[in-house]
Chain A
Amino acid sequence: MASHAARVDADADGVPNSTDNCSVRPNPAQSDVDADGVGDACEGDIDADGDFDQDDVDLFNKVFGRSIGDPAFDPSADIDGDSRITFVDYQRLVALVTPPPAAASSSRACGLLGIEPLLPVALALRRIARNRKRSV
């Protein structure tokens, strides 16, 4: 019975729950950059249910401002790994809970960031040029 429990691997990443540093999200590499015992894949998943949502935010509110060594400190809320739960961690948690819109991320991927405000100008100039051609 005990040996079966030791072999349970809930996220099927090849690492049994008993030694998995993030047992609810697959992370076969077990990456833990800040070495706080919480796998990078689980940073921000404060309620350890495998997703990032308002429940995590509600728990974050209860541990904000805590530092390592404080009994209320929760390493999964210390997303930037600086041993203190601050506004930077909140910003990162909010980004996990509300991922950026696909359109915005694709425009960034195309290297258009910073040029977007000029697009209406280009379109307007093109339209003016077309109207002139038609009138000629």
Chain B
Amino acid sequence: MNRALRDLLISAALGVGVVAESGATTIVTVNGPSSPVAVGDTFQITLTADFSAPVLGWGLDLTFDPALVSVVGTPTVDSSWTAVFSPDGDGLVGLAPITGVSGSGVLLATVTLQLLAPGNAVIGVSVTPGDLAEGFPLLPSGFDTIQFNAFTVPLPEPRGLVLLGAAVLTFGRRKLVRNRQ
């Protein structure tokens, strides 16, 4: 390839990189079970992140309706981070090695929860504004902007709806048989 053309392509790629970095955001996703969770059951969620740039740690708050869900035990911070003291006591803080951590789908922590009552149980995460022990500190300085993806606990089909569905199917089938006769 012509050297001049190659240099132009490299510079174009660099330019794209600069633009992408300026609009970058860390995306945090709460992942949970796909099968229904019954009232009284415990289940696990994981917090994963897609990093737009290397970070030196993370600190988050879990958000949920305490009438529907409660945390069981202490969250487990993934081994790629150093679990440290969390000032708010929720155990959701990790420090990265000094080289920082980057990548997609990076596991932050695993949390065990219990479903206390039926309802729209949404598990989300947040960051307390102004709390410098939370968020995603970038390497070497500043904090990344964050986008959160919450998780809704799947519930078993309500018994009444199941019965109604079965009744409709039965009547429909009878009608079909009668029409054929």
CB distance from B125 to the nearest CB of A (A): 17
- Chain A interface size band reads 20 to 34
Knowing A64-B85, A87-B57 touch, does A127 contact B98 (C-beta < 8 A)?
no
Interface of A is mostly: helix
Contacts of A121 in B (CB 8 A): 7-8, 11
A124 with B133, Cβ < 8 A, contacts A65-B84, A87-B56, A87-B143 known: no
Chain A 22-58 interface mask (CB, 8 Å, partner B; 1/0): 0000000000000000000000000000000010010
Interface residues of B in 1-46 (CB under 8 A from A): 3-5, 7-8, 10-11, 14-15, 17-18
Encode B85-126 as 1/0 by CB contact (under 8 A) with A: 111000001010010000000000000000000000000000
Partner of A84, one of B15, B82, B93, B132: B132
Which secondary structure dominates chain B's binding surface?
mixed
Q: Is B75 an interface residue (CB 8 A)?
A: no
How far in angstroms is the closest Cβ of chain B from A8?
Answer: 33
A54: which B residues are within 8 A, CB to CB? 98
Residues of chain B within 8 A (CB-CB) of A84 are: 132-133
Chain B interface bracket (under 10, 10 to 19, 20 to 34, 35 or more): 20 to 34
Q: CB < 8 Å: which of B7, B15, B56 contacts A127?
A: B7
Q: List B contacts of A95 (CB < 8 A).
A: 140-141
CA distance A86 to B5 in the complex (A): 47
Residues of B within 8 A of A127 (CB): 3-4, 7
- Contact residue among A66, A91, A120, A125 (Cβ-Cβ distance under 8 Å from B10): A120
Instruction: Enumerate chain A interface residues (CB-CB to B < 8 A).
Output: 54, 57, 61-67, 72, 82, 84, 86-88, 90-91, 94-95, 97-98, 100, 117-121, 123-125, 127-128, 131
- Having A87-B57, A100-B140, A127-B3, one finds 9 other A-B pairs with CB under 8 Å, namely A65-B85, A65-B87, A86-B132, A87-B135, A117-B11, A117-B15, A120-B10, A120-B14, A127-B4
Residues of chain B touching chain A, judged by Cβ–Cβ distance below 8 Å, are: 3-5, 7-8, 10-11, 14-15, 17-18, 56-57, 59, 82, 84-87, 93, 95, 98, 132-133, 135, 137-141, 143
